[in-house]
Amino acid sequence: MKLSYNLGTTLLIILSFCLINPNLGISQMEENVPSVDVPEITALKVHPESLTLEHARDGRRIMVSGQTKDGKWVDVSTWAEVTAAPGIKIHEDGYIFPEEVGSSSITISVNNITTELPVTVKSIDAPPVSFVRDVMPVLSHAGCNNGTCHGGAKGKNGFKLSLRGYDPDFDYELLIEDITGRRFNRAFPEQSLMLLKPTSEVPHKGGQVIKPDSRDYKLIHQWISEGVVSDVGKIQRVERLEVFPESAELSMPGYKQQMLVIAHYADGSTRDVTREAKFTSSSIDVAKVTDDGVVTAERRGETAILTRYEGAYSTNGIIVMGDRSGFEWAETQVYNYIDTHVHNKLKRLKILPAELCTDEEFVRRIYFDMTGLPPTPEQVRNFLMDTTASKEKREKLIDSLVETTEYVDHWTHKWGDLLQSNRKFLGERGMWLFQQWLQDEIAENRPYNEFVYDLITATGSAYSNPAASYFRVSREYTAAVENTTQLFLGVRFSCNKCHDHPFEVWTQNQYYEVGAFFSDVQLKNGRLPGEEVVYTSYNSTPVKHPRTLAVVDASVPFGEIKDESKDKRTSFAEWLTSAENPMFAKAGVNRIWSYFMGRGIIEPVDDIRTSNPPSNPELLDALTKDFVENGFDIRHIMKTIAKSRTYQQSIKTNKWNKSDSINFSHATARRLTAEQLLDAIGVATGSQPKFQGVPKSFRAVQLPDSQVKDDGFLKLFGRPERESSCECERTTEVSLAHAMNLINGPTVADAIIDPNGRIAQLIKEEKDDRTLVEELYLATFARLPEKTEYATAVEFLGKAESKEEGAQDLMWALLNSPAFLFNR
């Protein structure tokens, strides 16, 4: 089967930005951005280089750049003085409009430097108003079809529009046929509800969203007087957006950048839609953007400006450099290609990477990341006492850890979460069988593409083929669509179930087209109790579009299935897991990366979209390529990541990287997950946690699902219920309830005083205070105590009422320290 892809550039746009910033929402509330003086410039450049105005409503804006003394081009539109020659007119909002047919020009000057822009006026007639190209954009621009206004699922006050105008036909029908005549008065257009409401001339809960006599007003007025004609289906909406500049670097807070948005239509015509487009900055404390598309730098950082217009999108990166004087790149070792790409980005942003972490830090971190467990005191000692050079012995440890049973348990658990292995869906027997299947797949390091292929194409009894459990969890085709796309493509189709995705190219149609691949999947009872059999039915109800009720044919959202003869699920699985699928390997490798680095290169890892670009696209591409070229070998990618210098950095920051949180310039401490934490308490205290209904020796990470009862610890610390394919189902926050539990709860308290635990054992063996302290530090922090730590602890033990009580207190304190609670 031959597969081809035509994703376009939108999904692969190469940009950087910060999605979650700790200070979001705070900075701009009170801070005033400094106003900036006109920079000294030596040359001027205008974009576009010439203007052609086609008709009376063809208004255009320009963007003026100036070259500074050091050769950089900066936006000087704010300070530009613009004078029009006869034949054209400049409106107050900066739009240039035609007045007379012929050739004219505009003079632009900044600080006595002047340049001229030739303008050609082709016509000054006003063409008829188009519903699709003129009226719909006005509805969007005025905000009428927002989710919070009439675009909401139930509309507002009895009037509904499609969300952000994704369905012009629907909107036209509702405008016209809702209550005939009410919204329009063709003889006296200004008496139409469609004009009275938004101008607030009759009460409108949304307030005045269109000013009387504004251009928006006039457009609607003209459209009504021309007879309220729809051109839906006759005329195409915008084909693509072109946004200038493609990316920009603003040197200091206060600097501005005018964005210019040109809509391109299939017929070759273009429009300046800067005024109608919607702009959003992904990180408003880095740069804000006004409705007019003026970006203002707020503080150092990266942001992406998302521009939306009539269902077309563009994302443009903005870097605010800020004051970096004194920065000098220090030559840093490169262990593999990961470091090359990370360092390239850091150099560009003038960030200095952190130093290498210590062997002690490394051994704890790699054990947690690979096996979900801390190293035992013995494992720590072995590693630290190994005299091999640090880099080599780290690599040796990485290679050995992926071969352990603990590795298998850990990743079985992870996939159990994502695939919702849960007795609620699978029954008890089905759950154990599915867990065993996952274990086998991971133990043999099954290539990721084959693993996924087996899940998607599984048929038969889920007892004999546990992969079929996938469809016992995703019982409806809707669940199959949402889980499959989120898990394996990293996109959230759940948004476009009810409407076109608000920030993405995905449409509602595509949701059901993908659904049609799964509509034949049926379940029936098997012979054994609780057994279910997955089979393909040839007379199941076809998927219908919820609004049009038209039967939807199976079709992939991008790329193409050439061979239609195969079973639908097989075709889909082949398309999905193909090496040529640009999303599959990328989403997979990004997910794996996040497990080791604390955040994805695209974050959240399961919300990949144009408006959420990777922080380091070259790095993501290189990892993707490596993954594909090595046959989707998961262990290979994990080892490659762990062997990079980038992974082995310290959490300790320097002056240049302390504010960076997205470019992997230092390690990021992560709170241990619920299971890691409970198991780590078990390892540290030597006390076996107690669970109901599983073998006594089970660790938390070996539990088959969230129904297994413990003392409430796992639930409190965020163990997922396994009811969602979203990574976000697991939480790792810190709260008052967590602090109370660790301080005073039964889990820690009982483990410390366990008569079979580590402390009881050490006391029984009558170890001296120094040994005791050493053992407890190794068991909790995976390192030996430092000199002052010895002193503090030994002194504490000396003062205690009994050595046992003192040791318990010391253990309590170590377990409650962030050095224990975090993977660092």
Partner 1 sequence: MLSLPQAPGRLCDGFSRREFLRVGGAAMLGMSLPQVLSLQARASTTVDAAKPLNGWGKADSVILLFLQGGPSHIDIWDPKPDAPSNIRGEFNPIPTNVPGIQLSETMPKLAQQMDKACLIRSVSYTPAGLFNHTAAMYQMVTGDTPDKVAPSGQLDPPSPIDHPNAAAHISKFRPPEEPMLAAVQLPRPMQESGIIGKGGNAGYLGRAYDPYFLFQDPNKDINLDDLSLRPEVPPMRLQRRKTLLETINANMPEIDKVADSFALNEYYEKAYDLILSQKARNAFDLSQETNEMRDKYGRHTFGQSVLMARRLVEAGTRFVQVNWPSVANGNPNETAWDTHAANFGPLKNLHCPKLDSAVSSLLEDLDQRGMLENTLVLAIGEFGRSPRMGISTSGNGNAPDGRDHWPYCYTGLIAGAGVQGGQVYGKSDATGSTPLENPVDPRDILATVYHTLGIDPHTIVMNHLDQPRELVKGEVITGIF
Site for partner 1 in 122-161 (CB under 8 A): 143, 146-148
Which one of residues 661, 663, 665, 702 is an interface residue with partner 1 (CB under 8 A)?
661
Residue 557 bridge partners (DSSP): none
Nearer to partner 1, 93 or 563 (CB): 93
What is the separation, in whole angstroms, between the first and last Cα of the chain? 47
Residue 235 bridge partners (DSSP): 232
Q: Which of residues 755-784 bind partner 1 (CB under 8 A)?
A: none
Query: Residue 369 interacts with partner 1 (CB under 8 A)?
Result: no
Q: What share of residues in the chain are helix, strand, coil (percent, to 5)? A: 40, 15, 45
Structure tokens at 293: 């598309």
Residue 308: other Cβ atoms inside 10 A: 21
Query: Residue 789 interacts with partner 1 (CB under 8 A)?
Result: yes
Query: Residue 748 interacts with partner 1 (CB under 8 A)?
Result: no
Q: Which of residues 84-103 bind partner 1 (CB under 8 A)?
A: 90, 92-94
With contact defined as beta carbons under 8 Å apart, do 437 and 740 qualify?
no
Structure tokens at 376: 């035992």
CA dihedral (196, 197, 198, 200) positive or negative: positive
Nearer to partner 1, 89 or 186 (CB): 89
For residue 785, give the DSSP letter.
P
With contact defined as beta carbons under 8 Å apart, do 84 and 106 qualify?
yes
Q: Which of residues 708-737 bind partner 1 (CB under 8 A)?
A: 715-716, 718, 720-721, 723-724, 726, 728-729, 731, 733-737
Residue 88: other Cβ atoms inside 10 A: 22
Query: Residue 697 interacts with partner 1 (CB under 8 A)?
Result: no
Nearest approach, Cβ of residue 180 and partner 1 (Å): 27
Query: Residue 796 interacts with partner 1 (CB under 8 A)?
Result: yes
Nearest approach, Cβ of residue 277 and partner 1 (Å): 11
Binding track over 305-344 against partner 1, x by CB under 8 A:
---x------------------------------------
Query: Residue 80 interacts with partner 1 (CB under 8 A)?
Result: yes
Nearer to partner 1, 208 or 269 (CB): 208
For residue 695, give the DSSP letter.
-
**Which runs of E-coded beta strand occur in 541-607?**
560-561
Which one of residues 5, 11, 12, 23 is an interface residue with partner 1 (CB under 8 A)?
23
What phi, psi does 363 have (nearest 5°)? -65, -35
Query: Residue 738 interacts with partner 1 (CB under 8 A)?
Result: yes
Nearer to partner 1, 8 or 147 (CB): 147
Query: Residue 792 interacts with partner 1 (CB under 8 A)?
Result: yes
Query: Residue 479 interacts with partner 1 (CB under 8 A)?
Result: no
Nearer to partner 1, 231 or 789 (CB): 789
Helix boundaries (H) for 647-698: 674-685
Query: Residue 29 interacts with partner 1 (CB under 8 A)?
Result: yes
For residue 358, give the DSSP letter.
P
Binding piece for partner 1, criterion CB under 8 A, among 60-68, 515-523, 629-637, 757-765: 60-68
Query: Residue 663 interacts with partner 1 (CB under 8 A)?
Result: no
Structure tokens at 349: 């942003």
Nearest approach, Cβ of residue 817 and partner 1 (Å): 6
Binding piece for partner 1, criterion CB under 8 A, among 189-197, 558-566, 762-770, 803-811: 803-811
Which one of residues 745, 754, 761, 784 is an interface residue with partner 1 (CB under 8 A)?
745
Which one of residues 124, 426, 534, 814 is an interface residue with partner 1 (CB under 8 A)?
814
Nearer to partner 1, 20 or 528 (CB): 20
- Alpha-carbon distance of 306 to 15, in angstroms, equals 11
Query: Residue 677 interacts with partner 1 (CB under 8 A)?
Result: no
Could you please report the per-residue DSSP string of 34-77?
PP-PPPPEEEEEEESSSEEE-STT--B--EEEEEETTS-EEE-G
What letter represents residue 141's amino acid? H
Residue 534 bridge partners (DSSP): 460, 523
For residue 598, give the DSSP letter.
S
Query: Residue 284 interacts with partner 1 (CB under 8 A)?
Result: yes
Structure tokens at 590: 């990004």
Nearer to partner 1, 496 or 640 (CB): 496
Which one of residues 544, 639, 652, 709 is an interface residue with partner 1 (CB under 8 A)?
652
Binding track over 484-503 against partner 1, x by CB under 8 A:
--------x-xx--------
What letter represents residue 258's amino acid? Q
User: Coil, strand or helix: which one is 309?
Assistant: strand
Nearer to partner 1, 29 or 187 (CB): 29
For residue 15, give the DSSP letter.
-
For residue 562, give the DSSP letter.
-
Nearer to partner 1, 61 or 343 (CB): 61
Which one of residues 52, 78, 200, 707 is an interface residue with partner 1 (CB under 8 A)?
78
Query: Residue 546 interacts with partner 1 (CB under 8 A)?
Result: no
Q: Which of residues 597-636 bind partner 1 (CB under 8 A)?
A: 604, 607
Query: Residue 542 interacts with partner 1 (CB under 8 A)?
Result: no
Nearest approach, Cβ of residue 743 and partner 1 (Å): 5
List C-alpha distances in Å: 46 to 95, 96, 115. Answer: 14, 14, 8
Nearest approach, Cβ of residue 198 and partner 1 (Å): 12
Query: Residue 809 interacts with partner 1 (CB under 8 A)?
Result: yes
- Alpha-carbon distance of 769 to 105, in angstroms, equals 89
Buried-state track 653-683, b at ≥16 Cβ within 10 A, e below 16: beebbebbbbbbbbbbebbbbbbbbbbbbbb
Query: Residue 115 interacts with partner 1 (CB under 8 A)?
Result: no
Query: Residue 794 interacts with partner 1 (CB under 8 A)?
Result: no
- Alpha-carbon distance of 557 to 517, in angstroms, equals 12
Query: Residue 813 interacts with partner 1 (CB under 8 A)?
Result: yes
List C-alpha distances in Å: 162 to 171, 175, 228, 488, 495. Answer: 6, 11, 19, 29, 14
CA neighbor of 423 nearest in space, from 436, 415, 432, 414:
432
Query: Residue 82 interacts with partner 1 (CB under 8 A)?
Result: yes
Binding piece for partner 1, criterion CB under 8 A, among 113-121, 362-370, 551-559, 745-753: 745-753
Which one of residues 403, 786, 798, 802 is an interface residue with partner 1 (CB under 8 A)?
786
Nearest approach, Cβ of residue 81 and partner 1 (Å): 6
Q: Which of residues 236-265 bind partner 1 (CB under 8 A)?
A: 256, 258
**Which runs of E-coded beta strand occur in 455-557?**
460-461, 521-525, 532-536
The number of residues in the chain equals: 824
List C-alpha distances in Å: 606 to 427, 495, 517, 770, 817. Answer: 28, 13, 21, 48, 32
Which one of residues 113, 235, 651, 784 is an interface residue with partner 1 (CB under 8 A)?
651
Which one of residues 67, 280, 340, 522 is an interface residue with partner 1 (CB under 8 A)?
280
- Residues that contact partner 1, how many (by CB under 8 A): 95
Q: Which of residues 405-464 bind partner 1 (CB under 8 A)?
A: none
With contact defined as beta carbons under 8 Å apart, do 54 and 47 qualify?
no
Residue 3 makes CB contacts below 8 A (sequence gap 6+) with 559, 560, 561, 562, 574, 575, 578, 580, 581
CA neighbor of 775 nearest in space, from 672, 699, 686:
686
- Alpha-carbon distance of 666 to 211, in angstroms, equals 51
Binding piece for partner 1, criterion CB under 8 A, among 170-178, 617-625, 754-762, 814-822: 814-822
Nearest approach, Cβ of residue 391 and partner 1 (Å): 22
What phi, psi does 405 have (nearest 5°)? -70, -30
Q: Which of residues 176-205 bind partner 1 (CB under 8 A)?
A: none
Nearest approach, Cβ of residue 143 and partner 1 (Å): 5
Nearer to partner 1, 242 or 721 (CB): 721
Nearest approach, Cβ of residue 203 and partner 1 (Å): 15
